[in-house]
Structure 1
Amino acid sequence: MVTQDLTGPPVEPRDAATVVLVRDGAAGLEAFLLRRVAGMAFAGGMTVFPGGGVDRRDADTSVAWSGPPPSWWAARFGCSVELATALVCAAVRETFEESGVLLAGPSSSSVVADTAAYASARAALVARELSLAQFLASERLVLRADLLRPWANWLTPVEEPRRYDTYFFVAVLPEGQSADGVTTEASDAAWQRPAEAMADWKDGRRALMPPTWVTLAELDELGSVSAVLDAPRTVSKVIPKLVREGSVFRVVVP
């Protein structure tokens, strides 16, 4: 684990959004997981949910929007309306980039059933050649903020040289769509029951960061999509601590 020189101030965290995609499988609730490519600067080799850093263009207020307004999200996440706008847009954009799942539709009450037609736009979003607002406008699509639920807020420990203030959302896989995990940032992707993913972690087959295994444990306890959507959530910022034990650092979750 790489830590920074604590004689200086902590690194300023970057805002980020993560989306926990869920569905009801044959054997129970499943979550979509990506294994990040080993050697990446942040969380290399770790199994994570789709997500990433906020792009400055994610705050574009021209995006066609359906569902709870940015002010509602700002109240739930305890942040500014501008940041709330950017977080919801980043959540939709990153989910589409990393899984091919698009939380948008031709109208405020519909959702895209097949995203294959938007493959070139997906690549342009990844390359930052296109913003989410530009993509949605060109395809006459509406962002479906009502398909997202606020879940959690995790801030990387102050000792880390790369820090993210990550806001977690939950979304159900839209009917007709599939998650493919076609992204250069992941070596593999799969739907998995939370209990199985945690068992893989305990047996050394997966590496999980605290926000991921805590979220998986919560999902496992709930057990179904309906229970997840109905679960009351109060979001507060969680900041794990790094504790040195000899030559080893241990993560402590409050």
Structure 2
Amino acid sequence: MTEPSSHLSAASATRRATGDPNVFLIPEEHLPAGFAAKVEAGGFVPAPTRPAATVLLARDSDDGPEVLLMRRSKRSGFAADAWVFPGGVVDDDDRDPAVMERLDGPTPMQWAERLGLVDPAEALAYVVAAVREAFEETGILLARVSDDATNPGGALSNIDVARRALLSSVVDLRQIFITRNLRMAGDELLYLAHWITPEPEPRRYDTRFFLARVDAEAVCTPHEEELTESVWLTARGAVHYFELGSLKMLPPTVHTLRRLAGYGTVGEIFAALADAPVPAILPVMRRVADGVAIEIPPEARL
């Protein structure tokens, strides 16, 4: 039976580089049946978006800043087998206003201003989701020990126990920070980008991208139910592998990496982009002779 057009998704189809860094191609042979026709016909009602957060974990190396990329499971319903940054949808627990008691760095009001949101609680939810998703998917917790901790040496010990409890919904992130006397390192987060899933897709997200500075010795332990492997790469190297066809990535991932490729250190990225404009990027899909093209809008082009 033919799948209803409203459910057709190209979310896991291979994207290829083109001669234009602002245009990506999904080849005809990689599209689900009927998707190209859906794009060409237009007239569909876009699905609502879900708020989501993505975080680029970045560390300095002799070759320049490296970012963590993780390979999604081939069974994933979204971006299957693609190399992505850690991230996911904003949960209800991420909206708990009590989390701000454990937040270092910008206040929720300052985050709201930076993200262009009216509600500080909504802005805080994106920040908390970024920290939580990084911890759940990589085992790297963006935190520091509170100044008044009585046992600072033990606050971050056996942190994998806390991670398993979080993944099992036994505790939430706030409880981990309270019981271990930790502070959320919001001052190590840089708001980087805002991407909205193209309108033809049935599963859509309104995603805020953050960059987080981590130690050079940071080690990733992938959450194996969702992710199969990980790698630290320079932005330039990752883009090179994408253009060769060696790494399957989505346009927001590639575009973000291209934007970071010219910086020599993580500190340079923070200094250059701390106050840079962050427009909402809604790529456009259009039918072309050999498939479907995904175009970055003019205001966000490199």
Residue number among 39, 45, 56 corresponding to 1:20 in the alignment: 56
Q: Distance in 1 between matches of 2:168 and 2:272?
A: 36
Deviation at 1:116, TM superposition (A): 5.3
- Local SS of the residue matching 1:142: strand
Q: Which residue of 2 aligns with 1:132?
A: 173
Distance 1:128 1:26, change over 3 A: same
CA contact 1:108–1:144 (8 Å) conserved in 2? no
Q: TM-score, normalised by structure 1?
A: 0.92
Matched, 1:185 2:221: no
- Local SS of the residue matching 2:60: strand
Q: Distance in 1 between matches of 2:247 and 2:155?
A: 31
Residue number among 57, 64, 70 corresponding to 2:108 in the alignment: 70
Q: TM-score, normalised by structure 2?
A: 0.78
Deviation at 1:32, TM superposition (A): 0.6
Q: Which residue identity is paired with 1:73? A: W
Aligned length: 254
Q: Distance in 2 between matches of 1:115 and 1:174?
A: 14
In structure 2, runs of 5+ residues without a counterpart are 1-9, 11-31, 298-302
- Local SS of the residue matching 2:76: coil
Distance 1:223 1:201, change over 3 A: same
Q: Which residue of 2 aligns with 1:59?
A: 95
Distance 1:184 1:223, change over 3 A: farther
- Local SS of the residue matching 1:28: coil
Please list the CA deviations of residues 181-231 of structure 1 after superposition, one character each: whole Å capped at 9, or x if unmatched: 344211110101112111111111111111111111111112321211111
Q: Which residue identity is paired with 1:99? A: T
- Local SS of the residue matching 2:78: coil
Residue number among 250, 269, 272 corresponding to 1:231 in the alignment: 272
Matched, 1:100 2:139: yes
- Local SS of the residue matching 1:137: helix
In structure 1, runs of 5+ residues without a counterpart are none
Matched, 1:155 2:196: yes
Larger Rg: 2
RMSD: 2.3
Q: Distance in 2 between matches of 1:106 and 1:231?
A: 28
